[in-house]
Amino acid sequence: MTNTPTASAKPARKREAFLPFLPKFMSGTKALRWLKRVHAWTGLWGALIFLMMGMSGFLLNHRSTAKIDTGAPKEVSSVVLEVDPAAIGSQEDLGTWAQDTFGTSIVPRASKAEPARQGKGESAVFMNTEVTPIEVWKQSFKGPNGSLLVEYAKGSTTVTATRTAENVFGLIKNLHKGSGLGILWILFIDLTAGALITMSLTGALLWSQLHGPRLAAIGIASGCLMLGLFASLPNFI
């Protein structure tokens, strides 16, 4: 009995992982390795800021419903300073004077004027006596760690300055909101948001490769989105 030659067996191809959300040419092990690296490095870079944003977001979200008290700003100092009335002719002049005097570059918030309880120039009755209140100007400089409030009665020779300070929770919330912070902090938060989005996308892609088909992943993501929209519907106008 003679042995007939048989065709040499072809080596079995190694089956590569399949990522259902990516095109086929990006669905190999190299793409999976790249996704893992991007996910890990963005997580390492943004871990602390993610923790801060999550904590402050929780506090801000429950400040009115659950009424989580994180402490109000506390007055730490107040001073009355002498000023030349000719140097402050408007609310804007008051803001400029405060910036020069206290050496702050923070832009004051919306100007406040309190001419009187009855209205500018109108007389009022106080303890059965008719009086004419004068206009009072206020400028507020808000920073993440506290605020500065200056008050000036028109034509007066003094300015009252009050400094308040935030506690740790107040500081974290103000960092979340960007209160009193400049363009550099805004750009930093934009980078953090980009890192969070990248982590979400790479995490979803990695999860879909490890735990099930495309339809299951789409169904779970769609269900979460619909649940969030449904929860917000009662507050729509």
pLDDT given at position 160:
92
Q: What share of the chain is helix, strand, coil (3-state, %, to 5)?
A: 45, 20, 35
Q: Residue for token digits 């495309």? A: 214
Structure confidence by residue, pLDDT tens digits, 7-32: 555 555 554 455 455 555 555 567 66
**Does the model's pTM come out above 0.85?**
no
pLDDT given at position 161:
93
219: tokens are: 């169904």
Which region holds residue 53: left if phi is over 0, alpha if psi is between -120 and 50, else beta? alpha
- Is residue 93 scored above 70 in pLDDT? yes
Confidence of residue 130 (pLDDT cuts 50, 70, 90): confident
Is the separation of the CB atoms in 62 and 68 below 8 Å?
yes
Q: Which amino acid is at 211?
A: H
Question: What letter does residue 3 receive in the DSSP assignment?
Answer: P
Structure confidence by residue, pLDDT tens digits, 163-203: 999 888 888 888 887 777 778 888 888 888 888 888 777 77
Q: Which amino acid is at 48?
A: L
Question: What letter does residue 86 receive in the DSSP assignment?
Answer: G
Measuring CA to CA, how many Å separate 202 from each of 4, 36, 42, 81, 196? Answer: 54, 7, 10, 58, 10
Q: Which amino acid is at 169?
A: F
